[in-house]
Amino acid sequence: MKSIKGKTAIITGASSGIGEAVARKLASEGANVVLAARREDKIRELADELKGSYSAEVLAITTDVTSKQDVEDLVKQTKEAFGQVDILINNAGVMLLSFLKNDMVDQWEQMVDVNIKGVLFGVHSVLPGMLEKGTGHIVNISSVAGHEVMPSSAVYSATKYAVRALSMGMEKELADTPVRVTNISPGAVETELPSHITDEEVQDLFKDMLSGVKPLDSVDIAEAIYYALSQPDHVDVNEVIIRPVNQG
């Protein structure tokens, strides 16, 4: 296993759920972590907790990933503090499931902006520096919804298929470079994610879909990400699909 001690990792969407768990895991393994999300109070609180628990350096930088300028500033501030970005976890995302007939166009736009453009702005902001330094690992969080489409998940799935397409393209284009790319596709994980759904028809459907399924914990995903990050240099973990045992 390769150590990530002393490496610098940016985690988008670090204010809750999977991003928060990844931040804890990477800090516990000795990485410098940069927490990025819109809720400043949450990332500041997490930064204080991590600084108190581990020897790692932690920064909290308020970031809206739909803003190219914000993401460029996030990377600039990280480089000013730590010199370079070794790891980017493109995790920020929203899952605003709705039926197409209900025409929630503003939510479609938000999902495209956060889930696709947010990932692209991250890649844009770190990849040239990683190629120049000859080291780097980008982890994109897709979903099992990036492998399958359910009623109400058309737009969310479209964004998560797009994330996988970007990961696959990057893997091919970067195969001869030292930069690694990993796509993680989680199934149901217990987080705040579904709490933002406003389509009432979907709220009921979603509960039915997952009845009898015990969702994963965010820590399960953090462990999968750490597995990919800690492989020796000759190993390239391209895709991990991880779901609860009884989620079909």
Residues that bind ligand NDP (CB under 6 A): 12-13, 15-19, 37-39, 42, 63-66, 91-95, 114, 141, 143, 186, 188-189, 191-193
Which one, 136 or 146, has the nearer CB to ligand NDP? 146
CB of residue 63 to ligand NDP, shortest distance in Å = 6
CB of residue 3 to ligand NDP, shortest distance in Å = 26
HEC states along 30-74?
CCEEEEEECCHHHHHHHHHHHHHHCCCCEEEEECCCCCHHHHHHH
Q: Helix H segments across 134-238?
A: 154-174, 200-209, 218-229
Which one, 31 or 111, has the nearer CB to ligand NDP? 111
CB of residue 25 to ligand NDP, shortest distance in Å = 13
Residue of 54, 156, 161, 227 with catalytic role = 156
Which one, 111 or 127, has the nearer CB to ligand NDP? 111
Closest to 117 (Cα-Cα) out of 96, 99, 138, 93: 93
156 is known as an active-site residue = yes
Kind and range of the H or E run holding 139: strand 136-141
Positions marked catalytic: 156
